[in-house]
C-alpha cells in the first residue's frame, strides 16, 4: 500500500520526464477503449431501453393468441375474468390501395382495436401528437403508418381502400419501430369486410391489476388456453435480453481487436520505459528492493498513465455513440437514449487497466530482473540481465492470456468463449508476429540496399525490428479488416444481384390460398397475357410427414440435427411434371425424378434427417401413407434465393390426396429491365384477395440495406484498428528517436545533407509501409478468397485497382506518420546532439 | 565482535575464452563499529571486493559472512532483505533516482523495506544539512549535496554497516571534506561500521585501519 502511495506521489514527475511515452500509452489505449466503450455503451443502452419499455413494445402484461372458435368455457373465462383490463385485437392481412390508382398498392396489416382501452401501455404516437383515442372513435377512421402514407401517396382526411373497405385517414403513425419493410400498418376500430383477405390472428391483451402476480395470472389462463398461446412481457423481456446480448457480444469482441492492438503499443512503451530504468532498478535493489516491488512500482505508474488513456477513451467512445445510430440507421430506426451506466464504465475501465498491466508486465519484468551489480556499470547494463527461461516466459504468457480470457468471459457471460477468444488471439498474433519478423529479416537480406542511405536504413530497421513488427501487425490488421469486409460485402451483393438478374430463375412468387383466394387457373391466364413476363408456371404443394424409412418407423432421435423431428413432420412436397419442371433443380446425388414411385429431396434436409439415396420412404399425406423411392438429392444452396419445396414427386403420384394443407405456388420471371414490384402491384390491383406475393428484387433490396449497414459498422471498428496501427507506428518511431538523432547528427557530421537524412527515413518508412500494406492486402485477399470459396461458395474476383489504392494509401500514411513523428530531428543541429551525449 | 568476514574469497571474470582473476585469497575481518579503509591503485579490485561484501555479485570461490549469515549462497530476495536491513551504500556517482526529489530518494528504502516511519527521511536530511533542499530534484542539487542525499539514503533504514565506494571521487576538496567528516562522525557518534573504498591515502589515514589491495590480494 505504501508502495502504491509512493508510486502515485512520484507519478507527476515521472510523467513529466516521460511525457512523450506517456502520451503514446494514453493514445494507444484511448483508441482501443473508445471502440470498446462505444459498442458497449450503445448495446447496453439499447438493451436497457428495450427492457425498460418492454410493456409499451409488447402492449400488455399478458397476451393470448385466441383460437378461431372459442369454446364456451373460454368465452366465459374471458367475459368474467378479474385479472385486469382486457382488450381484443384482430389482425387482418390485406392489400391497401390508393383510391384513385389501384396500381398503387401495398400489403398491409390491419389491426382492429378498441380505441377506448388500446394501447394498454403507452400510446399510439402520431406525427402531429394528437390523441388516437379521439380520432378512432369515429367509424371507418384509420391511423396509417408513415411508409404506407408515403408509398401510396395518400392524403390526410382522405380515403385509403383496404381490400374493398374504404377508410378515412385521420392520423399518421410516427415511425419508431424497426422499419416495416414492404408491409404497411393500419390501426382502426372498424373491421374490414370479412370476405376479402384473411384474418391473420386474434389476440386478447391483458393488463393486470396491481395486486395480481404475473405467474399466477398465467397459470390461471393456462387452465383455459394452451400454454404456447400465452406470452408474458417477462418472457419477451428475457428474449430481447438474450438475443441483444449475443449481438452485443459479437460486436464487443470485434471491437476488442483495436484494444488488443493498443496493448501491443503499450508493451512497446513499457519495454522502453523499463529499459531506461535498468540502472534505477539496480539502485533500488542495493537499498533493499525486491524484483517484484520494483516491477510493481513501474507497472503501477504505467497503469495510472493507462487510466488516463482509459478515461479519455471512454469519453471518446461515449461521444462516438452519436455516430453509431447514423451507421446503423437503416436497421435500427429507433433513436435509443444513450445512458452510460457506472457498470459499463467500471467494466470498460477494468478492461483497459487489465490490458495495460497484462501487456506491460513481461517487457517490464525483463528489465527489472537486473542484477544489482549494474550500479557499477554505466555502459551496457543490459549485459547483467538474467535471462528468463523460455518455459517460464511461455507459462507467464499463457497465464496472462487466461486472466484476460476469463475477464472477457465475465463481461460476456461466457468464460469458455472468453478463454477461446484470448487463446485464439494469442496464437494468431504470435504466428503473425513471427511471419512479420521473418519477412522483415528476409527483406533486409535482399540485395536492394545500395548507397549509404539505404544501408543506414537497413541498419536502423535491423536494430528495432522486434518493436516495429507490432506496428506492422496492427496496420496490416486494420487495413485487411477494412478491405476484407468491403470485398465480402461487394461479392455477396453482386452475387445476390446476379441472382435477381438471372433470366432463368423466377423472381416473382405468389402463394395462393386455396380457399378464399383466386384460382390458380385465372391467375395464370392473367399473367400469361402480361407482356412484361416470361415463363409463368405453377406448382401444387402438399404437406406430408415422414413416417417410415425402409419399412421401419422413422426415429427422429437418431438424426444428427435436433430440429429433424420438426422437419420430418413438415414436409412440403411439390407436385410436378418431371418433363417440365417449374424450376431447374441442381442435382448433387443420385438421378433425376422420372417415375411416379420416385421422390427427390433437398440434400441439406435429407442429410439432417439421416436419409440416403436409395432409401424407401413412407410419407403420410392426409390420411394416406404413400411409399416412394428416394432417388436423388438436389441442393438449394448454390441456387441462392429460391422458393422451392423440400422434396418433389410427380403430379400423378400425388393426385387424389387430401393433405391437411395444400397450396399453389406461382412462379414468374420478368423480362429484363422490368421491376417485379410493378407486376405484383398489377396483380394485387386485379386480385385483391391474392394471398402472399413477393418479388425477389424487394427481398434483395432489404438484404442490401441490412448487410450494408452491418458492413459499415464492422468497417468502422476496422478503422479503429487502422488508427491504432498508425499510433503504434508513430510511437515506435518516437521511442527510437534518440537513436535517430544520433544517426542524423552522424550523417550531418560526415557531410550529409538534409536530403540524405530524408532519404534514410524514406527508405526506412518505405520498407515498413510496403510490408504493412503488403501483408494486410495479402491477408484480406486470402481470407476473402477462402470465405468466398469454402463458406459462401461464390466466385472470388481479384480487384487490382482497390488493392493498389489500399497499398498506396497505407504506404503514404506510414511515410507521413513517420515524417511527422521525426520532423523535429531534421531541424536539429548536429553539434547539440553530439554534445548532449 | 566482528560483523563482516570473508574466507579465501576469490573472483574470476570469465568472458568467453578469456579469464581475468581479479581477487584471490581475500581473508578479511571487520569489527562492529570499525572504520576500515580499502585502498589500492585503480583496477586493483576494490570495487569488486565491495560488491562481494554486499552480495551484489557472487564470488568464484570463498565465503562472505555478514553477522552470522553466510550470504554467498542466498537467493536474490533474501539478499535484498539483508541489504535493506544491514547495509547502506554510498557510490562515487551518487546514483540518485532523477525523477524523485531529495526527500523521496531518501524515503525510497523505507518504502521498499516496509518501514512505516514517515519522519525518518526528513530527520536524515536534517542530519546531512539539507533541510531546505528536500523538494529539489537531483539535477537541481550540487555534487556535494547529491552525495549528502545519498548518505542520508544509506542511513535511513538505520543499517549497522555503511559501504562507501569512493564517495568523494566526484567532489571537490571542500565537499570531500564535508562528506568525510560526516562518515567519521557516523562511526564515532553512531557506532556504525564503515567500509570506505578510496585511493586517496589522505582519507585512508583517517580510518582506524587501512587494508591495501594490489593485484587482487591484500598486501
Ligand atoms: N565484468 C567484468 N568482466 C571482466 N573484467 C572485469 C569486470 N568487472 C571488472 N573487471 C576488471 O576487474 C578489475 C578490478 O576492477 P574494479 O572495478 O574492482 O577495480 P577498482 O579497484 O575499483 O578500480 P577503480 O579504482 O578504478 O575504481 C579491473 O581490471 C577490471 O577491468
Ligand atoms: Mg572502483
- In chain B, what are the domain boundaries? 2-218
Predicted confidence band of residue A404 (pLDDT cuts 50, 70, 90): very high
Those of residues 359-388 in A touching chain B at CB distance below 8 A are: 371-373, 375-376, 378
| Runs of H (alpha helix) within A335-389 | 342-368
**B119 within 8 A of B143, measured Cβ to Cβ:** no
**Contact status, residue A807 vs residue A777, Cβ threshold 8 Å:** yes
In this structure, are residues A73 and A149 in contact, taking their beta carbons and an 8 Å threshold? Answer: no
What confidence tens digit (pLDDT) does each residue in A475-495 have? 898 899 899 999 988 988 888
For ligand 1, is residue B11 a contact (CB within 6 Å)?
A: no
Residue nearest to atom 5 of ligand 1 (CA): B13
Nearest Cα of chain B lies from the Cα of A383 at a distance, in angstroms, of 12
Percent of chain A residues past pLDDT 70, beyond the cut:
93
Query: Residue B46 Cα, ligand 2 centroid: separation in angstroms?
Result: 6
User: Which DSSP string corresponds to A543-599?
Assistant: EEEEEEETTEE--GGGSSSTTHHHHHH-EEEEEE-TTS-SS---EEEE----STTEE
Closest CA to B151 of B188, B178, B119: B178
Q: If you measure CA to CA, which chain A residue comes closest to B58?
A: A373
Contacts of A372 in chain B (CB under 8 A): 56, 80, 83
- How far is the C-alpha of A31 from the C-alpha of A44, rounded, in Å? 20
DSSP-derived pairing of the beta strands B193-198 and B161-165 = parallel
Which segments in chain B show pLDDT lower than 50?
none
Q: What's residue A837's pLDDT?
A: 44
Nearest-CA neighbor of B157 among B128, B123, B191? B123
Interval A187-208 mean pLDDT? 79
Whether the link from the prior residue into A786 is cis, omega within 30° of 0, is no
If residue A630 lies in a helix (H) or strand (E), which one and from where to where?
strand A624-634
Among A2, A274, A288, which would you mutate to test the B interface (most chain B Cβ atoms within 10 Å of its Cβ)?
A288
Residue with the smallest CA separation from ligand 1 atom 25 is B42
- CA–CA dist A299, A271 (Å, integer): 11
Percent of chain A surpassing pLDDT 90: 24
> Residue A753, Cα to own-chain centre: how many angstroms?
53
Length of chain A counted residue by residue: 837
In this prediction, residue B122 carries a pLDDT of 92
Q: Cα distance from B126 to chain A (closest Cα, Å)?
A: 20
- Indicate if ligand 1 lies below 6 Å from the C-beta of B45: yes
Q: What is the pLDDT of residues A31-90, one digit of tens each?
A: 999 999 999 999 888 888 888 888 888 888 999 999 888 899 999 999 988 888 999 998
pLDDT at A360: 94
* Chain A residues lying within 8 Å of B51, measured CB to CB: 373, 376
pLDDT (mean) for A597-611: 87
B216 lines ligand 1 (CB under 6 A): no
Beta carbons of A62 and A214 less than 8 angstroms apart:
yes
Question: Strand, coil or helix: what is A747?
Answer: helix
**Pair A97, A105: CB distance under 8 Å:** yes
Lowest mean pLDDT among A3-17, A102-116, A325-339, A387-401: A325-339
Smallest CA–CA distance, residue B47 to chain A, in Å, is: 8
Ordered by start, the domain boundaries in chain A are 1-59+241-386, 60-239, 388-445, 449-503+697-837, 504-671
Crossing angle for the helix pair A415-445 and A390-411, to the nearest 10 degrees: 130
Contacts of A649 (CB under 8 A, 6+ apart): A573, A574, A575, A576, A593, A596, A598, A599, A628
User: Is the pLDDT score of A211 beyond 60?
Assistant: yes
A537 membership: H or E segment, kind and range? strand A533-549
Q: Label residues A482-498 b or e (16+ Cβ within 10 Å = b).
A: bbbbbbbbebbbebbee
B18 lines ligand 1 (CB under 6 A): no
User: Of B57, B80, B137, which has the smallest distance from its Cβ to A290's Cβ?
Assistant: B80
Q: Which CATH class is domain B2-218?
A: alpha beta
Q: Do the chains contact at B112 and A283, CB–CB below 8 Å?
A: no
User: pLDDT band for position A512 (50/70/90)?
Assistant: confident
pLDDT(A277) > 70: yes
- Considering every ligand atom shown, identify the ligand nearest to the alpha carbon of residue B214 and give its number: 1
Interface of B to A at Cβ within 8 Å reads: 47, 51, 54, 56-57, 76-77, 80-81, 83-85, 88-89, 91, 93, 95, 97-101, 104, 107-109, 111-114, 116, 137, 153-154, 157
A167: DSSP letter: E
What's the rounded mean pLDDT across residues A268-276?
88
How confident is residue A785, by pLDDT bands cut at 50, 70 and 90?
Answer: very high
Kindly give the distance from the C-alpha atom of residue A687 to the centroid of ligand 1, in angstroms, as a whole number: 105
Handedness of CA A65, A68, A74, A75 (dihedral sign): positive
Interface predicted TM-score (ipTM): 0.92
Q: Per-residue b/e over A285-297, b at no fewer than 16 CB within 10 Å?
A: bbbbbbbebbbbb
Average pLDDT, chain A: 85
Q: Is B147 left (phi over 0), alpha (psi -120 to 50) or beta?
A: alpha
Q: Which atom of ligand 1 is nearest to the CA of B46?
A: 21
- Predicted confidence at residue A378, as pLDDT, reads 67
Q: Do A286 and B56 touch (CB under 8 A)?
A: yes
Q: What is the pLDDT of residue A19?
A: 87
Q: How far apart are CA A538 and CA A521, in angstroms?
A: 9
Q: Classify burial at A437, counting beta carbons within 10 Å of its beta carbon; exposed 0-12, middle 13-18, buried 19 or more.
A: middle
Model confidence at A331: pLDDT above 80: no
CB contact under 8 A, B47 and A373: no
Q: What is the pLDDT of residues A282-308, one digit of tens each?
A: 999 988 889 899 999 999 999 999 999
Spatial separation of the C-alpha atoms in residues A357 and A305, rounded to whole Å: 11
Q: Does ligand 1 lie within 6 Å of residue B129's CB atom?
A: no
Q: What are phi and psi of B199, to 5 degrees?
A: -110, 10
**Residue corresponding to grid cell 413438415:** A570
Interhelix angle A342-368/A390-411, rounded to 10 degrees, is: 180
Q: Which are the contacts of A75, defined by CB distance < 8 A and separation ≥ 6? A: none
Closest CA relative to residue B169, chosen from B193, B150, B154: B150
β pairing state of A141-145 and A165-173: parallel
Residue A519 DSSP label: -
More confident residue, A131 or A215: A215
Q: How confident is the model at residue A376 (pLDDT cuts 50, 70, 90)?
A: confident
Question: What local confidence, expressed as pLDDT, does residue A243 receive?
Answer: 85
Partner-chain contact B83 A372, CB within 8 Å: yes
Residue A56 or residue A142, greater confidence: A142
Q: Which residues are paired to A171 by β-bridges?
A: A143
- Does ligand 1 come within 6 angstroms of the Cβ of B15? yes
The number of C-alpha atoms within 13 Å of A86 and in the hemisphere containing its C-beta is 16
Q: Which residues of B touch A301 (CB under 8 A)?
A: none
Q: How far is CA B215 from CA B23, B24, B46, in A?
A: 7, 9, 10
Taking CA atoms only, the protein residue closest to ligand 1 atom 24 is B42
Question: CB-CB: which of A13, A288, A373 is closest to B84?
Answer: A288
How confident is the model at residue A644, as a pLDDT? 66
- In chain A, what residues touch B97 (CB-CB under 8 Å)? 280, 283-284
Q: How far is B28 from chain A (nearest CA, A)?
A: 21
Q: Which ligand 1 atom lies nearest to the CA of residue B213?
A: 21
For the stretch A553-593, pLDDT in tens is: 887 776 666 666 777 877 888 888 888 777 778 888 888 88
DSSP for residue A126: B
- pLDDT category of residue A641 using cuts at 50, 70 and 90: very low
Amino acid at each position: 500500500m505504501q508502495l502504491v502511495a509512493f508510486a502515485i506521489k512520484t507519478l507527476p514527475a515521472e510523467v513529466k520526464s516521460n511525457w512523450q511515452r506517456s502520451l503514446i500509452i494514453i493514445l494507444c489505449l484511448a483508441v482501443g477503449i473508445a471502440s470498446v466503450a462505444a459498442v458497449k455503451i450503445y448495446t447496453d443502452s439499447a438493451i436497457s431501453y428495450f427492457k425498460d419499455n418492454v410493456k409499451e413494445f409488447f402492449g400488455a402484461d399478458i397476451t393470448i393468441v385466441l383460437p378461431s372458435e372459442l369454446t364456451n368455457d373460454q368465452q366465459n373465462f374471458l367475459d368474467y375474468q378479474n385479472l385486469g383490463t382486457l382488450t381484443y385485437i384482430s389482425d387482418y392481412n390485406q392489400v391497401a390501395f390508393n383510391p384513385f390508382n389501384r396500381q398503387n398498392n401495398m400489403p398491409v396489416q390491419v389491426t382492429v382495436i378498441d380505441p377506448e382501452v388500446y394501447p394498454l401501455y403507452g400510446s399510439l404516437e402520431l406525427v402531429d401528437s394528437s390523441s388516437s383515442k379521439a380520432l378512432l372513435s369515429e367509424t371507418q377512421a384509420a391511423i396509417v403508418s408513415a411508409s404506407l402514407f408515403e408509398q401510396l401517396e395518400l392524403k390526410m382526411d382522405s380515403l385509403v381502400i383496404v381490400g374493398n373497405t374504404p377508410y378515412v385517414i385521420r392520423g399518421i403513425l410516427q415511425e419508431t419501430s424497426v422499419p416495416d419493410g414492404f408491409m404497411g400498418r393500419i390501426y382502426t376500430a372498424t373491421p374490414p369486410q370479412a370476405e376479402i383477405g384473411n384474418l391473420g390472428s386474434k389476440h386478447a391483451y391483458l393488463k393486470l391489476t396491481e395486486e395480481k402476480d404475473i405467474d399466477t395470472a398465467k397459470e390461471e389462463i393456462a387452465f383455459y388456453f394452451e400454454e404456447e398461446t400465452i406470452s408474458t412481457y417477462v418472457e419477451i423481456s428475457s428474449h430481447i435480453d438474450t438475443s441483444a446480448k449475443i449481438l452485443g457480444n459479437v460486436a464487443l469482441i470485434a471491437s476488442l481487436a483495436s484494444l488488443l492492438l493498443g496493448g501491443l503499443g503499450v508493451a512497446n512503451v513499457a519495454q522502453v520505459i523499463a529499459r531506461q530504468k535498468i540502472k534505477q532498478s539496480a539502485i533500488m535493489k542495493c537499498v533493499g528492493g525486491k524484483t517484484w516491488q520494483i516491477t510493481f512500482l513501474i507497472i503501477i505508474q504505467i497503469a495510472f498513465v493507462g487510466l488516463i488513456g482509459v478515461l479519455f477513451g471512454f469519453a471518446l467512445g461515449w461521444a462516438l455513440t452519436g455516430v453509431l445510430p447514423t451507421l446503423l440507421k437503416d436497421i435500427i430506426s429507433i433513436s435509443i437514449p444513450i445512458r452510460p451506466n457506472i457498470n459499463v464504465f467500471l467494466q470498460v475501465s477494468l478492461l483497459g487497466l487489465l490490458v495495460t498491466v497484462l501487456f506491460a508486465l513481461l517487457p517490464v519484468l525483463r528489465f527489472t530482473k537486473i542484477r544489482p551489480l549494474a550500479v557499477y556499470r554505466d555502459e551496457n547494463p543490459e549485459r547483467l540481465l538474467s535471462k528468463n527461461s523460455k518455459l517460464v516466459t511461455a507459462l507467464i504468457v499463457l497465464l496472462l492470456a487466461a486472466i484476460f480470457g476469463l475477464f472477457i468471459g465475465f463481461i460476456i457471460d461466457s468464460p469458455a468463449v472468453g478463454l477461446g477468444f484470448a487463446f485464439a488471439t494469442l496464437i494468431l498474433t504470435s504466428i503473425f508476429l513471427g511471419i512479420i519478423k521473418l519477412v522483415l529479416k528476409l527483406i533486409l537480406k535482399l540485395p536492394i540496399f545500395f548507397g549509404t542511405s539505404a544501408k543506414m536504413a537497413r541498419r536502423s530497421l535491423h536494430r528495432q525490428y522486434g518493436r516495429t513488427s507490432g506496428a506492422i501487425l496492427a496496420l496490416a490488421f486494420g487495413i485487411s479488416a477494412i478491405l476484407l469486409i468491403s470485398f465480402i460485402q461487394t461479392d455477396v451483393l453482386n452475387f445476390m444481384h446476379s441472382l435477381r438478374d438471372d433470366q432463368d430463375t423466377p423472381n416473382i412468387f405468389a402463394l395462393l390460398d386455396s380457399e378464399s383466394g383466386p384460382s390458380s387457373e385465372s391467375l395464370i391466364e392473367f399473367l400469361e397475357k402480361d407482356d412484361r413476363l416470361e415463363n409463368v408456371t405453377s406448382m401444387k404443394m402438399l404437406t406430408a410427414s415422414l413416417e417410415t424409412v425402409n419399412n421401419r418407423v422413422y426415429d427422429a432421435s437418431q438424426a444428427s440435427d435436433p430440429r429433424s423431428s420438426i422437419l420430418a413432420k413438415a414436409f412440403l412436397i411439390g407436385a410436378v411434371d418431371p418433363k417440365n419442371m417449374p424450376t431447374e433443380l441442381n442435382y448433387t446425388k443420385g438421378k433425376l425424378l422420372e417415375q411416379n414411385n420416385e421422390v427427390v429431396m433437398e440434400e441439406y434436409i435429407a442429410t439432417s434427417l439421416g436419409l440416403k439415396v436409395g432409401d424407401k420412404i413412407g410419407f403420410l399425406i392426409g390420411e394416406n401413407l404413400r411409399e416412394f423411392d428416394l432417388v436423388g438429392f438436389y441442393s438449394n444452396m448454390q441456387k441462392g434465393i429460391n422458393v422451392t419445396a423440400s422434396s418433389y414427386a410427380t403430379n400423378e403420384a400425388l393426385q387424389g390426396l387430401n393433405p391437411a394443407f395444400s397450396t399453389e405456388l406461382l412462379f414468374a420471371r420478368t423480362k429484363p429491365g422490368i421491376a417485379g414490384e410493378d407486376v405484383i402491384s398489377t396483380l394485387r390491383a386485379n386480385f385483391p384477395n391474392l394471398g402472399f406475393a413477393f418479388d425477389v428484387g424487394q427481398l434483395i433490396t432489404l438484404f442490401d440495406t441490412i448487410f450494408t449497414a452491418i458492413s459499415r459498422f464492422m468497417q468502422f471498428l476496422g478503422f479503429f484498428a487502422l488508427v491504432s496501427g498508425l499510433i503504434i507506428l508513430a510511437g515506435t518511431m518516437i521511442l527510437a528517436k534518440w537513436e535517430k538523432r544520433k544517426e542524423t547528427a552522424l550523417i550531418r557530421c560526415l557531410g550529409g545533407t538534409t536530403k540524405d537524412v530524408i532519404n534514410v527515413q524514406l527508405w526506412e518508412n518505405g520498407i515498413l509501409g510496403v510490408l504493412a500494406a503488403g501483408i494486410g492486402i495479402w491477408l484480406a485477399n486470402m481470407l476473402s478468397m477462402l470465405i468466398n470459396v469454402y463458406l459462401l461458395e461464390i466466385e472470388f474476383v481479384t480487384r487490382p485497382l482497390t488493392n493498389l489504392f489500399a497499398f498506396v494509401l497505407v504506404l503514404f500514411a506510414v511515410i507521413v506518420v513517420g515524417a511527422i513523428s521525426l520532423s523535429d530531428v531534421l531541424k536539429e543541429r548536429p553539434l547539440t546532439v553530439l554534445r548532449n551525449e | 565482535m566482528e560483523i563482516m568476514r570473508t574466507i579465501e574469497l576469490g573472483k574470476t571474470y570469465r568472458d568467453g575464452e578469456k579469464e581475468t582473476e581479479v581477487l584471490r585469497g581475500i581473508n578479511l575481518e571487520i569489527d562492529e563499529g570499525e572504520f576500515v579503509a580499502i585502498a589500492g591503485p585503480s583496477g586493483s579490485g576494490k570495487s569488486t571486493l565491495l560488491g562481494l561484501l554486499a552480495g551484489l555479485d557472487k564470488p568464484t570461490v570463498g565465503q562472505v559472512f555478514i553477522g552470522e549469515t553466510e550470504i554467498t549462497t542466498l537467493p536474490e530476495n533474501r539478499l535484498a532483505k539483508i541489504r535493506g536491513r544491514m547495509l547502506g551504500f554510498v557510490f562515487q556517482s551518487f546514483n540518485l533516482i532523477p525523477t524523485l526529489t531529495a526527500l523521496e530518494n531518501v524515503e525510497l528504502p523505507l518504502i521498499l523495506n516496509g518501514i512505516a516511519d514517515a519522519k525518518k527521511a526528513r530527520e536524515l536530511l536534517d542530519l546531512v544539512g539539507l533541510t531546505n533542499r528536500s523538494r529539489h530534484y537531483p539535477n537541481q542539487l550540487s555534487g556535494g549535496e547529491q552525495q549528502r542525499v545519498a548518505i542520508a539514503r544509506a542511513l535511513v533504514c538505520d543499517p549497522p554497516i555503511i559501504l562507501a565506494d569512493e564517495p568523494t571521487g566526484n567532489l571537490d576538496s571542500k565537499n570531500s571534506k564535508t562528506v568525510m567528516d560526516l562518515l567519521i562522525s557516523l562511526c564515532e557518534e553512531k557506532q556504525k561500521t564503515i567500509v570506505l573504498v578510496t585511493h586517496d591515502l589522505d582519507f585512508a589515514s583517517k580510518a582506524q585501519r587501512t587494508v591495501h589491495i594490489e593485484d587482487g590480494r591484500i598486501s
